[in-house]
Structure 1
Amino acid sequence: MGPKPFISYFMPMPLAPLSQTAWGSVEVGARDQLNGLEDPALARWNYWDGQILSGPDGKYRMFASRWDQSLGHMAWGRSLAVSAISDGLYGPYRDRGLIWPDDEGGKGHNVVALQLPDGRYAVVVSETRNGDVFVSKNIDGPWEKLGRISVDQSTFTSVKTPGDRPDMAIKAAWKASNVSLIVRPDGRFAIIQRSGQILISNNGILGPYKVMGDSIYRGVAGIPQTDMRAYEDPVLWYSGGWYHVVVNHWRSRRAYHLISRDGIVDWRFQGMAYEPSAKFIRYADGTINNWNKLERPAVVIENGHVIAMSFAVVDTPKESQTGNDGHGSKVIVVPFDGASMDRDLQGL
């Protein structure tokens, strides 16, 4: 392991006016409602996901999903994919509406975004759509459907969760779940999905992607091997000569950091990534926010290093949110010192 765990590299959020009357549980604490993306009055929308890309104009775009808050959290399956824009990395992000309003009414959840090697931008949807990919020459659209990701399971079977074993699974059509997708430095495309399996494509973003093996979490010292079906929302990226994965365990609400040199095998545990009780979401004046749950982590990379992470957060247990009850979800953006982390990991 490196000298410090992942959680040590989070930095304080910029000091801003903190609201004592913002929607949500009192346990969250005074907070900056202009950080990230939210419905300030929680009158219309719950927001989720929140991948951020910087545009050629110096502004930031967030790719997220939203649904009617009056329906409660468990209506997430009705999510619509939206884009938002901000002059600054930390927000406020202004919801600009549906990304593809004329395709299935804008349907989209588990939204991730990236820039392709040819300069185009891509948005990928899983869970409510089976790996649909939309592309645009402009970060602001218009977006057109390129197609759907395909997966080659001839060597290893794709499974639903890390608790399922490829060697014991019945082969079935691939189902996109919690897809995180990047362009590797070697030009290939890589996916990590909810199961913790790595998928590689030599033929562009649509694939076919070859399933490269079992879950990368299995048998790794430091990664709890019980209740493995609760691992979800992995995020994959490359920086500092390492491939990185942060994965969330939804039941324990803890997340773990793994690294690998080739991004396929020999993954190793690199420490605790985060947990709500660790009080790492703090402002420059020391004020701490205590969100009930942090999900859908995503990284913002500039100059080759992670400079921030975004999270979808809820103030109370999701199943307790029934709509019009003052509780909901939003996206927050937290500074991260990825340059220092990458430097510290160079000697491993």
Structure 2
Amino acid sequence: MKQKNFNKLFVILLLGTVAYIPTKSWAQIQERAKPAEWIDLVPGGKFIDLFQPISPVGQLTSDTWGTATVKPRYVDNGIEDNEWSYWGGNILEGEDGQFHLFVCRWREDSPKGHHEWSNSIVVHAVSDNSMGPFKVLDEVGKGHNPEVYKTADGRFVVYVIDGYYVANTLNGPWEYGKFEFDQRDRPIIEGLSNLTFVRREDGSYLMVCRGGGVWFNQDGLGKFNQVSNERVYPPVDGRFEDPVIWKDNVQYHLIVNDWLGRIAFYQRSKDGVHWKIDPGEAYMPGISIYEDGTNEDWFKYERIKIFQDDLGRAVQANFAVIDTLKNEDKPNDSHSSKNIGIPLKVGMQLDLLNKKQVTASTKTMKVLVKAESGFDPQNDLDLSSLRYGASEEVNFGRGSKVLSSKVKGNDLEITFEGKGNGFKEDNFAGKMLGKNQNGEMVFGYSRLPWVDYNQAILSARKPEILKEQGIVRVKVENFGQVNSKKAMVSVEIFEDGKSAFVSTKKIKGIQPFEGVTVDLPFDEFIPLGTNLSFKVSIQSSKVESEVFEGSLSGPNR
């Protein structure tokens, strides 16, 4: 599937005169030139603004490994010790009220130093606090870059490169297995490693691989099916890895890291397939600052994972951090790596009350800001600072201004002028940005009532030319969570770049994770050449049209 919902401003900035290019290079680093317009982003306009000062965890000490840039530090943040180097890992809160971290490690004194990572072991650690300190309980098994998730039927899965472990409880016992992948006639984008997973409402799973390909799976353990034809990342010359995907009550979120440039990008989506890229850095070195002013200036932040609240909102980010170049981390030296946590600013709960689609001619918009523990919108918000509308406007300090407000129980209904809202057809969320009475940034997203967030996701396989039957055959599958509606499937075949066959057929609805075979008859056209290509288009009034293109073999005889 092709990307169609790029933030056009973002693409122009990155591909225009201030292109995203390297300006300085040395081992494992390239400094990146950033779009000049990023300077105009207001506080809260980029994801990096959500990182909050860290409350001190344990005692501040210099009696530990690391360069001067990370000492003194709070060693009890996350997990670390002198015997092991730790990497990756994410947290789940268990029914026991404890926080369970699945992280990999290798001995610090290994002859390969940091490059012993290929022999790392996944361990299960627990803490009474999501920030740590975490203590190892037991080993899960060999593997690297773990990510743990819970399936709809209550099982726990720990993904590792090239496999997974599954258990009925967070304490195991763990059974090793391997996923099945169906690339569905598409090239696998940069291999199947560093996978990240998110569960959808019906218990099915969406996965993004390191290269930025999107895959779907029905239960979290069975076959994963690729639907994307190209990566969903920003169209820049980045060395991308470490994607992390999560979903809250509004939308999907994705962060991917350019490890060479040491800068990450943030994207949003209504369905996990079509992504909107937000400008500005998602994270960079320099984000671990404590409330007392202590700055742990780690050389690299990688393998970001997100800890979520009951609404799915991101409340904490965990990173694998290292104090120097990976090649410089030798056995029995003063360098190593660990896992740390950083709290995130949590978004407000918002409901846009307008039922009719908001356009440039809309006079007013009403937004309900919900009260919750620790937040009273009636008294906490600086109403004059608030802006609401499309993120493309609000992130740059524009958007619609407040006209009035009204108390609704414990909540606050705010009326915004319609002018400047910026909503267009590709917007699927409204954003509110401003300050509280203490001058601190506040933000939140709302769904847009006229947007359908749970649509069919139709995807075609490569067509076949069946000479004896006199047909061109193509299979169309639905990877959404709802039955599809009627759609038009068009197949065009090119010989030496020239259109030689085109036919269209209407198909009926398809249930989730099922497919239909479409046979398109031909009369005289039988392509005999070897330079064949195809284009399959699927058009439905209820879902975004999709196009699948590629090369094609000759007819089956």
TM-score norm. by structure 2 comes to 0.54
**1:9 corresponds to 2:50:** yes
SS of match in other structure, 1:330: strand
Q: Which amino acid aligns with 2:136?
A: D
Question: What is the distance in 2 between the residues matched to 1:218 and 1:339?
Answer: 24
Where do residues 62-73 of structure 1 align in structure 2 (5 Å cutoff)? 62-71=101-110, 72-73=113-114
Higher RCO, Cα 8 Å, sep 6+ = 1
CA distance in 2, matches of 1:240, 1:291: 33
One-letter amino acid of the structure 2 residue matched with residue 97 of structure 1: D
Separation in 1, partners of 2:192, 2:137: 26
For the pair 1:205 / 2:305, whether they are aligned, the reply is: no
Q: Which of 120, 127, 149 pairs up with 1:79?
A: 120
Residues 284 and 203 (structure 1), Cα distance of their counterparts in 2 relative to 1, 3 Å cut: closer
Q: What amino acid is the match of 1:287?
A: T
Distance 1:240 1:213 in 2: 28
Verify the 8 A CA contact 2:47 2:282 in the aligned structure 1: yes
Distance 1:270 1:345 in 2: 16
**What does 1:216-235 align with in structure 2 at a 5 Å threshold?**
216-219=232-235, 225-226=236-237, 228=238, 230-235=239-244
Determine the structure 2 residue equivalent to 1:244: 253
Separation in structure 2 between the aligned mates of residue 156 and residue 290 of structure 1, nearest angstrom: 42
Partner of 1:165: none
The residue type equivalent to 1:19 in the other structure is T
- 5 Å matches for 1:63-212? 63-71=102-110, 72-99=113-140, 106-126=141-161, 130=162, 132-145=163-176, 147-160=177-190, 175-212=191-228
Q: Deviations over 1:50-76 (max 9, x none)?
A: 211101011011001011111210111
In 2, Cα distance between the equivalents of 1:23 and 1:121? 34
Whole-angstrom distance in 2 between the partners of 1:150 and 1:55: 28
- Which of residues 74, 80, 90 is equivalent to 1:32? 74
Q: Tell me what 1:163 maps to.
A: none
| Cα displacement (A) at 1:207 | 1.6
**Letter of the aligned partner of 1:149 in structure 2?**
F
C-alpha distance in structure 1 between counterparts of 2:298 and 2:276, whole Å: 30
Gap change, CA 1:218 and 1:280, over 3 Å in 2: closer
1:312 and 2:320 aligned: yes
| Partner Cα separation in structure 2 for residue 87 and residue 347 of structure 1 | 34
Contact conserved, 1:258 with 1:271, CA < 8 A, in 2?
Answer: no
In the alignment, what sits opposite 2:375? none
Q: Relative to structure 2, which stretch is displaced further, 175-184 or 4-13? A: 175-184
Write the distance in 2 (CA, Å) between the matches of 1:284 and 1:255: 24
* Larger mean Cα displacement after TM superposition, 322-331 or 240-249: 240-249
Deviations 1:310-345 (A, max 9, x none): 000000110111111110000001111233498523
Q: 1:239 to 1:23 in 2, by over 3 A?
A: same
How many residues get paired? Answer: 311
Please say which of residues 334-343 and 322-331 is displaced more in the overlay: 334-343
What is the CA RMSD across the aligned residues, in angstroms? Answer: 1.9
- With over 3 angstroms needed to count, the CA separation of the structure-2 counterparts of 1:133 and 1:268, relative to structure 1, is same
Distance in 1 (alpha carbons) for counterparts of 2:283 and 2:299: 13
Aligned to 1:102: none
Cα distance in 2 for partners of 1:250, 1:301 equals 24
% identical aligned pairs: 33
The one-letter amino acid paired with 1:139 is L
- Partner of 1:164 in structure 2? none
| Residue matched to 2:96 | 57
CA separation of 1:241 and 1:155: change in aligned 2, threshold 3 A: farther
Contact in 2 for aligned 1:49/1:311 (Cα 8 Å): yes
- Partner deviation per Cα, 1:126-170 (whole Å, 9 max, x = no partner): 1xxx1x22222211111123x31111122421121xxxxxxxxxx
Q: Displaced runs of 4+ in structure 1, greater than 6 A?
A: none
Cα deviation digits, residues 101-141 of structure 1 (max 9, x gap): xxxxx211011101111112111111xxx1x2222221111
Describe the shift of the 1:96–1:203 C-alpha distance in structure 2 as closer, same or farther (beyond 3 A).
closer
Query: Residues 245 and 254 of structure 2 are in contact (CA less than 8 Å); yes or no, is this contact kept in structure 1?
Result: yes
| Residue 257 (structure 1) aligns with | 266
Native 8 Å contact 1:152 1:211 kept in 2: no
CA distance in 2, matches of 1:202, 1:140: 25
Q: CA deviation at 1:176?
A: 2.9
Corresponding residue SS for 1:257? strand
- Correspondence for 1:346: 446
**Aligned-partner Cα distance in 2 for 1:58–1:137:** 17
Structure 1 position 22 matched with structure 2 position 31:
no
| Inter-partner Cα distance in structure 2 for 1:203 and 1:139 | 18
Report the AA paired with residue 269 of structure 1. D
Q: Shift of residue 270 of structure 1? A: 4.6
Bigger radius of gyration among the two: 2
- Which amino acid in structure 2 is aligned with residue 148 of structure 1? K
- Residues 254 and 275 in structure 1, CA contact (< 8 A), matched pair in contact too: yes
Q: CA deviation at 1:4?
A: 1.9
CA distance, structure 2, for counterparts of residue 245 and residue 336 of structure 1: 15
Distance 1:330 1:179 in 2: 20
User: Structure 1 regions of 5+ residues with no counterpart?
Assistant: 100-105, 161-174, 220-224
The Cα shift of 1:11 comes to: 1.2
Q: CA deviation at 1:203?
A: 5.0
State the secondary structure of the residue aligned to 2:327.
helix
SS at match of 2:281: strand
**Bigger proportion of residues as strand:** 2
Query: Structure 1 residues 23, 247: closer, same or farther in 2, change over 3 A?
Result: same
